[in-house]
Amino acid sequence: MTAKPISTSKPAGDGLRFYGVWLIGIAALIVLPLIFSSGGSLTSFSLIGIAIVFALSYNILLGQTGLLSFGHAVHYGLGGFAACHMMNAVVSHGWPIPLPFIPLFGGIGGLVFAIIIGWVMTKRAGTVFAMISLGIGELVASSSLILRSVFGGEAGITTDRTALPKMFGWSFGPQVQVYYVIAFWLVLSAIAMYALTRTPLGRISNAVRDNPERVQFIGYDPHVVRYLAYCFAGFFAGVAGGLTAINFEIANSALLGAIQSGLVLFSTFIGGIAYFFGPILGAILVTYLQLGLTGLTSVWQLYFGIIFIGIVMFAPGGIAGLLMMHRPLVRAGTLWTVIPSYLVAVVPTVALACGVILTIETVARYSGGDPINLFGIPFNAKSPVTWVAAAVLVVGGAFVARLTWRRIADAWDRAATVARDRGYLA
């Protein structure tokens, strides 16, 4: 009984494509500021880069180890404080540490706290872990306001990134230089976190996620696995926090509070927890929405909530899940059979969405009495015409949209059957 030679290495084309994706990503990060050089874009890109590192770190817990944390921002925030203190110390002691090294100290801040609290937290998974993470989050957030010497109270700890030693002649005052520091750490962290998924620990984390009981019978202590995963997540959250501290030159209690913890959960889940790139998509989308919606409407959190509920109910795999669903169809060459049904569904679905938006804005502004201006069209919240329009859009849109969605499902089933027959779908 000799083993048949089974190659586990993927075909050469796959390897090329794999490195191709990473290289394209890195190239895009390098040229982005050259194409979009306005201050606003640079700020957005910087925030997105930080959000991606944070969301990827969160997915080490949620997607890879099956740990639902409501307090991940604790490590992000503590990383931010650690970075601020470090920057101030570098300046006051005259240490020869330039700014690009500072996120490492943010990571260490996040890691040290993970090492301390992680062991108790990860004793159990599931609801127990979720509850403890919530408690720790509240505990740290409230302590941060009490321990003024460390956290600087309401005002937080400020710092001056330009006071650190220069590197390559860069002062890191201009946003574009900060962007490149963030991009550098984004690439480094993403590669490291991806590599982590391909190590024995990474694979056993998946096993612990799927079946913590059985893991014990193949030699592993699931508690140790969860703890190590938690420490890695804490470290990379700290790196993200350090980047935030550099970006804003401040760390305050808002960084480690429940809102940040909720936001990273939200981004990661919307992006899709089952694929490595899911949280990247989620972080990009949510950061853009956040930047865009806050200026447009006062009830932007409501929209976040609706999107979140929609994803949980209709696409639990997130955006990445929706995209990857199509892969077998692309391979089987049947994708084109579902595209027409998508196009047909666009009109009523958009109508429904407009109706919902109009309804929300009408209700939100009714008491305030300010005029509504949606996509350049003004509406009066007190006018019955507006209400009728909203009602027609919602009811009519929903009615027609449902029919078109059913068409999508049918077209999808047919395409999937063909894909299955051709052996592209299990």
User: Which residues of this protein are in contact with other proteins, per CB under 8 A?
Assistant: 1, 3-4, 6, 8-9, 195-196, 198-204, 206-207, 209-211, 213-221, 224-225, 228, 232, 426
For 71, the token pair is: 């307090």
Q: Please, which residue, 4 or 93, has the CB nearer to other proteins? A: 4
Nearer to other proteins, 187 or 224 (CB): 224
User: Among 209, 319, 310, which Cα is nearest to 272's?
Assistant: 319
**8 A C-beta contact, residue 348 and residue 404:** yes
**333 dihedral zone (left: phi>0; alpha: psi -120 to 50; beta):** left
Q: Of 224, 217, 276, which Cα lies nearest the Cα of 57?
A: 276
Question: Residue 246 to residues 12, 184, 255, 357, 358: CA-CA distances in angstroms?
Answer: 41, 13, 13, 37, 39
Nearer to other proteins, 9 or 38 (CB): 9
Question: What's the CA gap between 109 and 262, in Å, rounded?
Answer: 21
DSSP code of residue 155: T
Indicate the residue among 3 and 377 with the shorter CB distance to other proteins: 3
3-class DSSP assignment, residue 158 = strand
Residue 6's CB: how many other CB atoms inside 10 A? 5
Q: Are 46 and 33 in contact (CB under 8 A)?
A: no
Cβ of residue 378: shortest distance to other proteins, in angstroms? 51
Nearer to other proteins, 109 or 202 (CB): 202
- Tokens, residue 39: 């201050």
Phi, psi dihedrals of residue 21, rounded to the nearest 5°: -60, -45
Would you say 142 or 199 has its CB closer to other proteins?
A: 199
Q: How far is the CB of 199 from other proteins (least distance, A)?
A: 5
The CB density around residue 198, as the number of other CB atoms within 10 Å, is 10
The nearest distance, CB 126 to other proteins, in angstroms, is 16
**Is the CB of 134 or the CB of 207 nearer to other proteins?**
207
Cα R_g (the chain), whole angstroms: 24
* CB 424, min distance to other proteins, A: 12
Min separation Cβ 191 and other proteins, Å: 13
Q: Which is nearer to other proteins, 220 or 387 (CB)?
A: 220
In 159-238, beta strands by DSSP E: none
To other proteins, the closest distance from the beta carbon of 151 in angstroms equals: 31
The minimum distance between CB 209 and other proteins, in angstroms, equals: 8
For the bound state, the minimum distance from the C-beta of residue 205 to other proteins, rounded and expressed in Å, comes to: 10
CA 298 to CA 373: how far, in whole Å? 13
